[in-house]
Chain A
Amino acid sequence: MSLLTDLTGAPPGTTTRALILRLSAIGAVLAGTAGAFAYAGGWLSPGALTPSRVINRFEDVNGRHPGFRRNHAKGMCVAGTFAASGAGARVSRAGVFVQGRVTPVEGRVALAGGQPYAADAETTVRSLALRFRLPDGEEWRTGMNDIPVFPVRTPEAFAEQLLAAKPDPATGRPEPERLRAFYAAHPESAAAAALIRARTVTAGFADGTYRSLNAFRFVAADGRATPVRFAYLPERDAAPATDARSPGADRNFLFDDLAAALRREPLRWRLVVTLGQPGDPTDDATTPWPVDRETIDAGTLTLTGATPEAPGNCRDINFDPLVLPDGIAPSDDPLLSARSAAYSQSFTRRAGEATLPSAVTRTPNHGAAL
């Protein structure tokens, strides 16, 4: 007992009982603090879906490809400018929408999926990611797809769908029963999948329409917020994909075609902002908004060149859709925060990994006699 008194430096006369009681109280405070930390860090809810588990699932389904994005793994860098029409300034105070403002843009076109060396296929979902660099260090980053709606409503459904659509090693195709069970549990995803299947698949990246899919809030100079969805519509007429191409001739034909087109001339897209009305779902990216909603033509994106992914260019940018300038804010769509978290996890992993060159590295040897 005197040992305990000596160790703690308790004043003479402190009873053993009092000493043990006070030590227990101190222990309880420390345990409570550590417990709060453990709770916040998710150690007490081991079943919860976390950014790490989402990215693990990508790795389970696609295999590990160090240094590559865990999704939209195969891509190519593009660059250009965005010229604001001024019409967007009515609904957003973001600097990109100021009339006459030309903002430098770097971006990345990619194919959905976690296989960096997969051959291009016409029906694979195509994406366009952009990074606008505004004055004073602000940025707007966005990642868009060429589909009309997103296939799932929540991050949990997203993780379930990844697993349900995982190809069976024996057949190379997803197990139909698992897909059926997933769609039965998620009717909103079944409806979205029908809309996505019914879309017009265009000839390439150059005539694709790229949509935000998630809703955002544009905030005007007076603080008024408007729910929006936005899309980049191609200037050139969309040509439907043809079956003329002999498969296997060029494993990167979608990327090579875009690079060749950009060598010939700049390509343009109009940024069309759709203004939501009260009642339009902002938290459900599987559901289209009514077609009669007012739109604003906010400006023109001009892409002027393409370069293969390399250290220091778009390869090393995380196109996190919640890197937003003042004047653009997230909606209540649960996918947005989850995308931000999962992209960050994917970026952190690949940043620390040695990697191989992108599949899209060379100039194409067809149609490039310019």
Chain B
Amino acid sequence: MTSPSRTSLARFTLPARLLHWGMAALILAMLLIGAAMVTSLGNYHVLVSLHRPVGLLILVLALLRLAYRQRHAPPPLPADLPLWQRRAAHASHVALYGLMLALPLIGWAMLSAARYPVALVGPLVLPPILPGSPTLYADLRAIHTVLAYMLFGVILAHLGAALLHGLIRRDGVFASMALWKPRA
């Protein structure tokens, strides 16, 4: 290792790392559930019954995570990272946070507009956040799909960049989010 920045980068705090990996699993599962349920007849009901409560859980965790991030700034990126990569990293994180908040909110809003009860588990039902309107539902339903594809795309880019940091640059960026301290 030639420069100190490659090895001595600070790590995210443990709660930040737990939130990151927990949400990574939930969001990936959610994207797969979403893609599967819209094309499934036999598993539609089971999947859609999972999709609603997991969506709410992601919304709550995303808000929690944003609040936590305000108080605990993430470690800085390596000093030798090119400017365009810095900008891409910043933009992709804005997109990730924006989408993980927007998708559950739009899901909740579109079900409200369609006048479906937003059932969670047992007798628990969320109140509607929009008045009933089929046209509003149709628009939000289409936007929900487009944003879900966008989120999947940004996640692929994020995953690719993370692996690039971890396997090729080896600059401590991947290690800063790893759950366990990697071998030196």
Task: From known contacts A8-B169, A323-B116, infer whether A351 and B137 are also in contact, taking CB-CB under 8 Å.
Answer: yes
**Contact present for B167 and A25 (CB under 8 Å):** yes
- Docked complex Cα distance between A317 and B113 (Å): 11
**Contact present for B45 and A322 (CB under 8 Å):** yes
Q: Which residues of A contact B114 (CB under 8 A)?
A: 318, 347, 351
B14 CB-CB contact with A under 8 Å: no
**CB within 8 Å of A: which B36-61 residues:** 36-46, 48
**Contact present for B44 and A51 (CB under 8 Å):** yes
A175 CB-CB contact with B under 8 Å: no
A123 CB-CB contact with B under 8 Å: no
**Contact present for A337 and B168 (CB under 8 Å):** no
**Which of B28, B36, B46, B127 touches A137 (beta carbons < 8 Å)?**
B127
Q: Which residues of B contact A350 (CB under 8 A)?
A: 134
Interface SS majority for chain A:
helix
**Contact present for B2 and A338 (CB under 8 Å):** no
**Contact present for A155 and B169 (CB under 8 Å):** no
Across the two chains, which residue of chain B brings its CB closest to A52?
B39
A169 CB-CB contact with B under 8 Å: no
Interface string of A327-370 (1 = CB under 8 A from B): 00010001011101110100110111000000000000000000
B163 CB-CB contact with A under 8 Å: yes
A10 CB-CB contact with B under 8 Å: yes
A202 CB-CB contact with B under 8 Å: no
**Contact present for B45 and A137 (CB under 8 Å):** no
A235 CB-CB contact with B under 8 Å: no
B123 CB-CB contact with A under 8 Å: yes
- Docked complex Cα distance between A329 and B117 (Å): 15
- Docked complex Cα distance between A347 and B44 (Å): 15
**CB within 8 Å of B: which A121-141 residues:** 136-139
Chain B interface size, under 10 / 10 to 19 / 20 to 34 / 35 or more: 35 or more
A248 CB-CB contact with B under 8 Å: no
Across the two chains, which residue of chain B brings its CB closest to A317?
B115
Q: Of B66-74, B89-97, B152-160, which stretch is located at the interface?
A: B152-160
**Contact present for B123 and A338 (CB under 8 Å):** no
- Docked complex Cα distance between A9 and B141 (Å): 41
Task: From known contacts A9-B82, A22-B167, A40-B36, infer whether A138 and B125 are also in contact, taking CB-CB under 8 Å.
Answer: yes
**Contact present for B31 and A37 (CB under 8 Å):** yes
**Contact present for B41 and A352 (CB under 8 Å):** no
**CB within 8 Å of B: which A298-326 residues:** 311-312, 316-318, 320, 322-323, 325-326
A-to-B contact residues, CB < 8 Å: 8-12, 14, 19, 22-23, 25-26, 29-30, 33-34, 36-37, 40-42, 48-52, 54, 136-139, 155, 311-312, 316-318, 320, 322-323, 325-326, 330, 334, 336-338, 340-342, 344, 347-348, 350-352
30 contacts between A and B (CB under 8 A): A8-B168, A9-B168, A10-B168, A19-B168, A22-B168, A26-B163, A26-B168, A29-B159, A29-B163, A30-B156, A30-B159, A33-B28, A40-B35, A41-B38, A48-B39, A51-B41, A137-B126, A137-B127, A138-B123, A155-B42, A322-B45, A336-B45, A337-B46, A340-B44, A341-B41, A342-B41, A344-B44, A351-B141, A352-B141, A352-B142
B-to-A contact residues, CB < 8 Å: 1-2, 6, 28, 31-33, 35-46, 48, 80-82, 85, 114-119, 122-123, 125-127, 132, 134-135, 137-139, 141-142, 152, 156, 159-160, 163-164, 167-171
